[in-house]
Amino acid sequence: MTGVELHHGAATDVGRVRTVNEDAFLVAPPVFVVADGMGGHDRGDIASGIVVEEFGRLADAGYDPARGPEVIAETLLQAQARIAEYDAGQRAGGAHDFAAGTTAVVALLIEQSTEPKWLLANLGDSRIYRLNDSVLEQVSVDHSVVQELVEAGVITPDDAAVHPERHIITRALGGRGRVDADFFVIPLSGAERLMLCSDGVSGMIDDATIGDILARASDPRDAADQVVAAAVAAGGRDNATAVVVDVVGLADDRPYDSDAQRVSLEQKLGALP
């Protein structure tokens, strides 16, 4: 994708409880990813690292911006295959029931009807938010047990924040759950600022706090730093990672034609009929 100017920032922290940071992120415009590894001793950091590596290859090789959903789905399947291969190797070495896993949220620039747009994808309970006119909105929908209970009307969103099963997710890469991502397409004008984050952020600070930080910090690097710092200050019970992306302009890709410009100017001045 060309013609879209992006500014971005990213931050991650192991937090105050964990000893290993199982989060991973990718900032390779126009590809942005946050992956939250799961499994503890089963090396969730390996799983999240694989996701970032696969999307890093995609960013390096380039992609067809008209095939966004297929491109993301194919990359996730490649990551899934690598994680499965890693698990099989560990089990063959004697680690019974070994199963590394990871969530993933992705933001990718695509073209739709010749217009650049954001294609967003999520798998698991890492989140994507957008900020417009200082109003924060969660774009992604958590793939979790508590989200299903909220949608069924069994519990409220406030209940979900403290529910004992709030960390049980229903879709992820690795393991035996569903691996099909949800996709969302939004115009660039519909997201002055995007934030991708692990649940070590969204699980520690509420949306009002996140929205306040994103609205106040003009530089996306500061925004990412401050969001992660707030999550750690609130207790840091998990690894915390945030990637913040701003669309700051659209460039005109049409080549500059000096001869045409000269003729146009002379016509305007009356030098030519």
pLDDT one-digit tens code per residue, 219-244: 999 999 999 999 999 999 999 999 99
Is the confidence at residue 117, as pLDDT, over 60? yes
User: How far, in Å, CA of 36 to CA of 54, rounded?
Assistant: 15
195 sits in which H/E element = strand 193-197
Question: Residue 57 phi/psi, 5° resolution?
Answer: -60, -40
Contact 24, 48 (CB under 8 A): yes
Q: Measured between alpha carbons, how far is 169 from 133 in angstroms, rounded to an integer?
A: 32
**Alpha-carbon distances, residue 94 vs 38, 87, 88, 174 (angstroms):** 20, 11, 10, 19
Across the chain, how many H-helices and E-strands are there? 8, 11
C-alpha to C-alpha distance for 155 and 36, rounded to whole angstroms: 25
- Summarize the confidence of residues 110-116 as an average pLDDT: 91
* Stretch 202-218: mean pLDDT: 97
Can the peptide bond before residue 220 be classed as cis, meaning omega within 30 degrees of 0? no
The pLDDT-based confidence of 96 (bands split at 50, 70, 90) is confident
Q: Lowest-confidence range among 36-40, 51-55, 176-180, 246-250? A: 176-180
- What's the predicted TM-score (pTM) here? 0.87
**What is the end-to-end Cα distance of the chain in Å, rounded?**
41
pLDDT at 164 over 90: no
- Given a cut of 60, whether residue 255 has pLDDT beyond it is no
